[in-house]
Structure 1
Amino acid sequence: MLWTTSCRHSVRSFKTCLGPLKSRSFAQTSHNWFPRPSPRTVKAAKAVPSFREEIAKTSGVTPFSERLGRPTIRKQVAFFLIGSCVAFALAVDQTQFETDWWSKRLPSLTGIFFLQSTTEEMRRASQAALYQKLQARFNKLKEVTSSWPIILQNISLSTIVAATNSYLTASEGRRLCWIISGLNLAIFLVWKIPRLNPFMNRSFMHDPLSGKSYTLLTSMFSHKGFIHLLANSFALTSFGSAATHYFYLHPNTPEAGPEATAKWHFLAFFISAGLFSGLVSHTVATKILYPRLLSEISTQAKIKTSQAASAIVGDVGKAALSAPARKILPSLGASGAIYAAVTVSALAFPDAQVQLIFPPFFPISITTGVGGMILLDLVGAIRGWRLFDHYAHLGGAAFGMFYYSYGNQWWASLKRLYRDGWNSGAAQTGL
Structure 2
Amino acid sequence: MTSSVMSQVALTSGQFSGSSFGVAAIWQYESLKSRVQSYFEELQADWLEKLRPQKRGDVRKEINQWWNSLTEGQKTVAGIIVANVLVFCAWPLVPLPIMLRYFTSNPASSAQCVPMLLSTFSHMSPFHLAANMYVLWSFSSSAVSMLGREQFLAVYLSAAVASSFSSYLWKTATGRYGPSVGASGAIMAVLALVCTKMPEAKLAIIFLPMFTFTAANALKAIVAMDTAGLLLGWRFFDHAAHLGGALFGIWYILFGHELIWKNREPFVKLWHDLRTRSGGGPGGPGGAV
Q: For this structure pair, what is the TM-score category when the shorter chain's length is used for normalisation?
A: 0.7 to 0.9
The residue that corresponds to 2:255 in the other structure is: 406
Secondary structure, aligned partner of 1:355: strand
* 1:129 Cα offset (Å): 2.9
Instruction: Indicate how the Cα distance of structure 1 residues 132 and 390 shifts in structure 2: closer, same or farther if over 3 A, else same.
Output: farther
The residue that corresponds to 1:98 in the other structure is: 31
Q: Distance in 2 between matches of 1:168 and 1:213?
A: 37
Aligned residue runs from structure 1 range 191-270, under 5 A: 191-193=91-93, 196-211=95-110, 212-247=112-147, 262-270=148-156
Instruction: Indicate how the Cα distance of structure 1 residues 132 and 379 shifts in structure 2: closer, same or farther if over 3 A, else same.
Output: farther
Note the alpha carbon deviations across 1:173-216, whole angstroms, 9 max, x for none. Answer: 111112111110011011122x5222111111111112521110
The residue that corresponds to 1:273 in the other structure is: 159
* 1:130 Cα offset (Å): 9.4
Is this contact kept in 1: 2:117–2:157, CA < 8 A? yes
Aligned residue runs from structure 1 range 19-98, under 5 A: 72-98=5-31
Aligned residue runs from structure 1 range 31-430, under 5 A: 72-103=5-36, 105=37, 125=39, 129=42, 132=45, 142=55, 154=57, 157=58, 163-193=63-93, 196-211=95-110, 212-247=112-147, 262-286=148-172, 288-290=173-175, 327-357=176-206, 362-409=211-258, 410-420=260-270, 422-423=272-273, 426=276
Runs of at least 4 residues off by over 6 Å: 68-71, 427-431
Note the alpha carbon deviations across 1:115-139, whole angstroms, 9 max, x for none. Answer: xxxxxxxxxx49x939948x96xx7
The residue type equivalent to 1:415 in the other structure is E
* 1:350 Cα offset (Å): 2.0
Is this contact kept in 1: 2:26–2:271, CA < 8 A? no
Q: TM-score, normalised by structure 2?
A: 0.84
Q: Distance in 1 between matches of 2:188 and 2:211?
A: 21
Is this contact kept in 1: 2:101–2:109, CA < 8 A? no
Is this contact kept in 2: 1:273–1:400, CA < 8 A? yes
Unaligned 5+ segments in structure 1 are: 1-67, 107-124, 143-152, 248-261, 291-326
Secondary structure, aligned partner of 1:234: helix
The range that moved more, 166-175 or 331-340, is: 166-175
Q: TM-score, normalised by structure 1?
A: 0.58
The residue type equivalent to 1:79 in the other structure is T
Number of aligned residues? 276
Is this contact kept in 2: 1:71–1:209, CA < 8 A? no
Identity %: 27
Is this contact kept in 2: 1:350–1:367, CA < 8 A? yes
Is this contact kept in 2: 1:177–1:241, CA < 8 A? no
Instruction: Indicate how the Cα distance of structure 1 residues 130 and 186 shifts in structure 2: closer, same or farther if over 3 A, else same.
Output: farther
Instruction: Indicate how the Cα distance of structure 1 residues 361 and 197 shifts in structure 2: closer, same or farther if over 3 A, else same.
Output: farther
Q: Distance in 2 between matches of 1:404 and 1:197?
A: 38
Higher gyration radius (CA): 1
User: Relative contact order, CA 8 A, sep 6+: which one is greater?
Assistant: 2
Instruction: Indicate how the Cα distance of structure 1 residues 99 and 174 shifts in structure 2: closer, same or farther if over 3 A, else same.
Output: same
Unaligned 5+ segments in structure 2 are: 283-289
Q: CA RMSD for the aligned pairs?
A: 3.1
The range that moved more, 362-371 or 92-101, is: 362-371
Note the alpha carbon deviations across 1:257-286, whole angstroms, 9 max, x for none. Answer: xxxxx2121111100001001101101111
Note the alpha carbon deviations across 1:202-261, whole angstroms, 9 max, x for none. Answer: 1111111125211101111111111010011001111122111111xxxxxxxxxxxxxx
